[in-house]
């Protein structure tokens, strides 16, 4: 029951990128794809960020190792159904075997293959289904394999998530296409649940890595479903250069288009959050620092009491105040705070707005898409955070996840 989100229709191929996906047998349901391969042409730039969890998964460790050895990755191998996390040396060995199988079938070295997993934590991933499927995946690689791949990486997602744009840079067409998965255990920290964004524009590797850090901060690192950071979060940005267009610092149109792809994919995760009935944007303005603005935004976004009020469409905005009050902040002056629900002012300079009426708040809370805006009137820093509500369905999905 995604909020304002449909399955993607047209996805532009990206020159230099081919994809394939199958049901390999990791998931029990044979109608469901669970394994995907993405090929990146030689000479592309690749940048990646990963979960900051202390308990990162085996494939995350191996990705970091492979990127350190050979930064110009050629293949991304992604399975759903099992996270290969907290699986020790055996889990690492499984990830290595799977990379080697791709290397053998495609004629590259194992270090040029990056492995990714998502699914249940603390269960061993059986390598056999993957090893048997690899040759077929290499054979089936196709520039139009985006949708199948977006489907193969889903877990509790109800819809595949992809964003695709085409624009002209220096009078030549450039494509940007990205896919993401994620619906619960979503509070990416430096990265997110599996996301792969590619362009056929050319961007040098160092510049691409710098670009990725900035883009992730205001997209995947600005969303939360449940405050829970996964062991497997990974975000990969690829620039193949196959369009023949090289991107310069001044190409603002391209950068804006890329930022839009990041933001829309991050928002797609929230729109399809586990049990979500609301899509909520929380803007915090006038803060002394971005850290303070993000702290308030995330505290509101992760409060179970705020989230249940959102689910109930109940304008019980005392809970917004509670959440602001408990935020860990460097600086605050409650007598300066303005608080808005949509266009309705709730607090003016720290006090309930005399013009507020319950019916006004009720109208705003009844919408599917809700905006909460806090102005601290202290400084110039701001942040936007996106989140979902806490519904019966969220409890049901996560109580029954393994059954």
Among 221, 231, 240, 382, binds a second copy (CB under 8 A): 231
**Binding flag, residue 128, a second copy (CB under 8 A):** no
Cβ-based neighbours of 78, under 8 Å, separated by 6 or more: 35, 36, 37, 38, 115, 116, 117, 118, 149, 152, 153, 194, 196
**Binding flag, residue 105, a second copy (CB under 8 A):** no
* Strands 338-341 and 369-375, bridge-based pairing: antiparallel
Kindly state the smallest distance separating residue 187's Cβ from a second copy, in Å.
8
Among 128, 256, 318, 369, binds a second copy (CB under 8 A): 318
**Binding flag, residue 273, a second copy (CB under 8 A):** no
Nearest to 389 by CA among 277, 297, 228: 277
Kindly state the smallest distance separating residue 160's Cβ from a second copy, in Å.
23
For the question of residue 240 being annotated catalytic, the response is no
**Binding flag, residue 288, a second copy (CB under 8 A):** no
Among 122, 168, 256, 291, binds a second copy (CB under 8 A): 122
Nearest to 234 by CA among 15, 62, 366, 380: 62
Kindly state the smallest distance separating residue 155's Cβ from a second copy, in Å.
13
Chain-centroid distance, C-alpha 53: 16
Burial of 88 (0-12, 13-18, 19+ CB in 10 A): exposed
**Binding flag, residue 330, a second copy (CB under 8 A):** no
How many residues lie near a second copy (CB under 8 A)?
A: 66
Q: Give the CA distances from residue 310 to residues 95, 224, 276, 380, in Å, rounded to whole numbers and listed in that order.
A: 41, 15, 10, 28
The single residue listed with the structure tokens 């989140």 is 387
Of 63-71, 104-112, 115-123, 196-204, which segment contacts a second copy by CB under 8 A? 115-123
Q: Give the CA distances from residue 397 to residues 28, 282, 320, 369, in Å, rounded to whole numbers and listed in that order.
A: 18, 25, 26, 22
Among 46, 332, 341, 378, binds a second copy (CB under 8 A): 332
Burial of 367 (0-12, 13-18, 19+ CB in 10 A): middle
Among 72, 143, 312, 381, binds a second copy (CB under 8 A): 312
**Binding flag, residue 311, a second copy (CB under 8 A):** yes
The single residue listed with the structure tokens 């989100």 is 5
Among 24, 149, 219, 303, binds a second copy (CB under 8 A): 303
Question: Among residue numbers 134 through 193, which ones bind a second copy (CB under 8 A)?
Answer: 184-185, 187, 189
Which of 118, 192, 224, 299 is an active site residue?
Answer: 192
Closer by beta carbon to a second copy, 205 or else 367: 367
Residues that bind a second copy (CB under 8 A): 51-56, 83, 85-89, 120-123, 184-185, 187, 189, 226-231, 302-305, 308-309, 311-312, 314, 316-319, 321-327, 329, 332, 334, 346-347, 350-352, 390-392, 394-396, 398-403
Active centre residues (catalytic): 192
């Amino acid at each position: 029951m995604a909020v304002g989100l449909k399955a993607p229709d047209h996805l532009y191929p990206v020159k230099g990128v081919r994809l394939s996906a199958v049901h390999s047998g990791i998931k029990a349901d044979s109608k469901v794809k669970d394994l995907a391969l993405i090929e990146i042409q030689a000479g592309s730039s690749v940048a990646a960020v990963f979960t900051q969890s202390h308990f990162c998964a085996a494939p995350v460790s191996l990705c970091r190792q492979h990127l350190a050895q050979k930064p110009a990755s050629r293949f991304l191998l992604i399975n759903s159904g099992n996270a290969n996390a907290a699986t020790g040396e055996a889990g690492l060995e499984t990830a290595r075997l799977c990379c080697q199988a791709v290397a053998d079938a495609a004629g590259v070295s194992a270090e040029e293959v990056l492995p990714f997993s998502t699914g249940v934590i603390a269960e061993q991933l059986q390598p056999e289904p993957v090893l048997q499927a690899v040759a077929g995946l290499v054979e089936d690689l196709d520039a139009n394999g985006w949708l199948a791949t977006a489907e193969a990486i889903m877990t509790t997602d109800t819809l595949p998530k992809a964003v695709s744009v085409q624009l002209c840079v220096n009078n030549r067409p450039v494509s940007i296409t990205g896919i993401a998965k994620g619906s619960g255990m979503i509070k990416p920290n430096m990265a997110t649940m599996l996301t792969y964004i590619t362009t056929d524009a050319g961007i040098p590797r160092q510049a691409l890595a710098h670009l990725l850090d900035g883009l992730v901060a205001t997209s995947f690192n600005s969303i939360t479903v449940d405050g829970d950071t996964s062991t497997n979060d990974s975000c990969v940005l690829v620039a193949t250069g196959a369009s023949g267009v090289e991107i310069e610092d001044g190409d603002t149109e391209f950068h804006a288009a890329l930022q839009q792809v990041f933001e829309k994919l991050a928002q797609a995760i929230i729109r399809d959050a586990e049990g979500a009935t609301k899509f909520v944007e929380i803007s915090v303005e006038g803060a002394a620092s971005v850290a303070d603005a993000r702290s308030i935004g995330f505290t509101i976004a992760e409060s179970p009491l705020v989230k249940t009020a959102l689910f109930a469409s109940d304008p019980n905005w005392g809970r917004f105040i509670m959440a602001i009050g408990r935020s860990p902040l460097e600086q605050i002056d409650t007598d300066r705070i303005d608080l808005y629900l949509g266009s309705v002012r709730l607090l003016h300079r720290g006090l309930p707005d005399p013009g507020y009426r319950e019916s006004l708040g009720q109208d705003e809370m009844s919408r599917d898409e809700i905006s909460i805006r806090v102005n601290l009137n202290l400084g110039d820093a701001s942040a936007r955070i996106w989140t979902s509500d806490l519904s019966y369905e969220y409890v049901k999905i996560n109580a029954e996840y393994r059954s």
